[in-house]
Structure 1
Amino acid sequence: MSDNDHSSAFPGWHGTTIIGVRRGDEVVIAGDGQVSLGPTVIKGTARKVRRLSPGGRDVVAGFAGSTADAFTLLERLERKLEAMPGQLARASVELAKDWRMDKYLRNLEAMLIVTDGTELLVITGAGDVLEPEHDIAAIGSGGNFALAAARGLMQTDMPAEDIARRAMAIASDICVYTNGNLTVERVGRS
């Protein structure tokens, strides 16, 4: 199976929506709880947003894709952050380099949104560490729906958490692979 065949056969991208919203001194990451296998909902209450505390500093991460793969990446990110305390961007770049270059890691099928309250980043297996425009990041099958909703809601005075919750509600109304059981984590600017 070629790399292209492998990625198109992977059903894991159809199963979640994660959004990160920065407003003022606060960043919120929210994720739905639905886990799907093909057209079947396997679980509706999964936690795809996690709080990491390497070196006593809060980092929040949300993941889309394979759960086992995402946990592997989150463990690696925690180790990078322990080695580089307070340097989320640098730790993320190091993770992305490992993910791209390591024979084992490069087969992992997931994406991450991470924040320490100051930086908001998307990390991909293609070696990308992206700082999104407009203070919003979204990944997963309903990511584009949530992103569009949040961009519109940024024109209001709503706080970050309300924008994230409302954008996720809109995404869950549109995307069959996204539900309304949310996990929401907040972190303030350091």
Structure 2
Amino acid sequence: MNLGNNRFDHTPPLRSTTVLAVLHNGAVVIGADGQATLGSTVAKSNVRKVRKLFGGSILAGFAGSTADAFTLLERFEEKLQNYRGNMKRSAIELAKDWRTDRILKRLEAMLVVASKEALLVISGTGDVLEPDLTLAAIGSGSTYAQSAAMALVKHAPHLSAMQIVKESLTIAADICIYTNHNFIFETLGESEEIVEN
């Protein structure tokens, strides 16, 4: 019997999502699907997995356990306040806490955060990764979305960041069973409103 990551937890592992961030032509967009899956069942189809932080100047998206991700987002926003919006420093300090704190290190989620200048992926193993490319993806459908976005950035550079993210998430949702077509986006530098699919 599969007991999930915690051998004392009899709940099926929570699996979900595709989150994609693209920094392109002076704009940054993070988009995510809305599906949360519990075992082999869709538990919810419209989870909001992207947020604006620090007065709207930083975007964040999460994959993994929703409650765990909210805890991490709150901690990250505290770090942003402490370090005056310095996203890289805040991410490094969050990763240190996440790796060493007894309670935080049990949290099962990943974050992708973005400003108009940079994208970062933060994990519970202490990693803060700045991708070589101007895009980053996390979650179960991340490889599909990232591959699609890489192709679009290379072969259709005239597209907007929003168009690239939306098309890439659509491709991921067509392939990944843990990803649906209920997309939500947050933007900096393009249309500043949330766009739903």
TM-score normalised according to structure 2 size: 0.88
Identity %: 50
* Number of aligned positions between the proteins: 182
Question: Of Structure 1 and Structure 2, which has the larger fraction of its residues in helix?
Answer: 1
Amino acid corresponding to residue 92 of structure 1 in structure 2: A
Aligned to 2:185: 184
In structure 2, list runs of 5 or more residues that go unmatched: 191-197
Aligned to 2:194: none
Structure 1 residues 57 and 34: alpha-carbon distance in aligned structure 2, compared to 1, 3 A threshold: closer
Deviations 1:121-158 (A, max 9, x none): 00000000101122110000000110111111112121
**CA apart distance, 1:57:** 5.2
**CA apart distance, 1:6:** 3.9
* Mapped pair 1:171 → 2:183: no
For 2:121 and 2:88, the matched residues in 1 are separated by: 10
Aligned to 1:89: 88
Amino acid corresponding to residue 64 of structure 2 in structure 1: G
2:13 to 11, 35, 38: 11
Deviations 1:27-66 (A, max 9, x none): 110000001101101111110001112xx35211000000
Aligned to 1:59: 58
1:78-117, aligned counterparts within 5 Å? 78-117=77-116
TM-score normalised according to structure 1 size: 0.91
Aligned to 1:45: 46
Farther off after superposition, 166-175 or 17-26: 17-26
Structure 1 residues 106 and 186: alpha-carbon distance in aligned structure 2, compared to 1, 3 A threshold: same
For 1:174 and 1:133, the matched residues in 2 are separated by: 25
Conserved 8 A contact 1:111-1:122: yes
Amino acid corresponding to residue 39 of structure 2 in structure 1: G
Would you identify which runs of 4 or more consecutive aligned residues in structure 1 move more than 3 Å? 4-7
Structure 1 residues 111 and 27: alpha-carbon distance in aligned structure 2, compared to 1, 3 A threshold: same
For 2:118 and 2:189, the matched residues in 1 are separated by: 10
In structure 1, list runs of 5 or more residues that go unmatched: none
Structure 1 residues 42 and 5: alpha-carbon distance in aligned structure 2, compared to 1, 3 A threshold: closer
For 1:48 and 1:132, the matched residues in 2 are separated by: 20
Conserved 8 A contact 1:19-1:29: yes
**CA apart distance, 1:177:** 0.5
**CA apart distance, 1:187:** 1.3
For 1:28 and 1:133, the matched residues in 2 are separated by: 17
Aligned to 1:144: 143
